[in-house]
Structure 1
């Protein structure tokens, strides 16, 4: 029977993470539209570039709050538990955790380079910073797919019922506050 929520996973803890991915993807779509406008319209005026990058910065700052909470949940509770089943030294958890650092790096680089008075930024510096936001979007998109295609199913099949229940109680927190 199809799930009316549209969520794919049966495990309550995996459903929390999957639902968070949906919310984060929605937020990403809002700021990625601005990134695409830079890629698709090379005739933007400097004034328009500055206006758009200010909005992009605001949206990414807002996005980072739930993203950081989601990432912290995974790294504090989910990955350590799953690692006791599948190992920590190699395999999918290593790559997923490296992607967390890569995402943080791209977003941090964008925020660093758009700090201060944007009115003083050149069009080239704005375009360079926006490319970092675009890279973050790409890595995040692939990252969510990998987690949902590999990591979450692995957790559902590997975790014992008591561990899955404990994980759920630890993961059942909001990322929006």
Structure 2
């Protein structure tokens, strides 16, 4: 297959499709962060409550997606890449960084609870923006570098193994 033209095997195509869905959720929560930044008073607190729900739901979806990559794709690719290759460690680091931003948001929001004020809501929302920025870059890296690389180095039977793994999870 020709990964340079965007033709990917089914498991890689699935991961790329998941990016589309995750990006839609990310765009939605990013819009909410922009509204929080522009609004004032009680509207900020209402928007923050909405953002909290969006981030909670998104975090669950992202964890499921990351797990498929970290337990399926990454180990298969690591077998082929040299021990000095930084591709997989870089991707794992980006996962950790994005997940930490999301966790920071959730933790801070939960710590403030119902007593949160406008300034705190705006400050805590920065973690959601940082997660968004990290993930936009990360998804682009995976789609431009990782997925084409996987397409070129994984054997047909490894792609089948990956596909079966995704179906069972």
What is the TM-score normalised by the length of structure 1?
0.87
Q: Residue in 2 aligned with 1:25? A: 23
Unaligned runs of 5+ residues in structure 2 are none
Aligned mate of 1:110, from 101, 105, 110: 105
- CA shift for structure 1 position 89: 4.9
Q: Residue in 1 aligned with 2:156? A: 161
Q: Residue in 2 aligned with 1:11? A: 9
CA gap of 1:122–1:19, structure 2 versus 1, over 3 A, is: same
2:7 aligned counterpart, secondary structure:
coil
- Report Cα offsets for 1:96-145 as digits up to 9, x if no partner: 10011101110000001111564311222111110000000000100000
1:114 aligned counterpart, secondary structure:
helix
CA gap of 1:88–1:71, structure 2 versus 1, over 3 A, is: farther
Q: Which runs of 4+ in 1 moved over 6 A?
A: none
Unaligned runs of 5+ residues in structure 1 are 1-6
| Larger helix fraction of residues | 2
CA contact (8 A) 2:94 2:138 kept: yes
RMSD: 1.7
Moved more, 109-118 or 123-132: 109-118
Aligned residues: 165
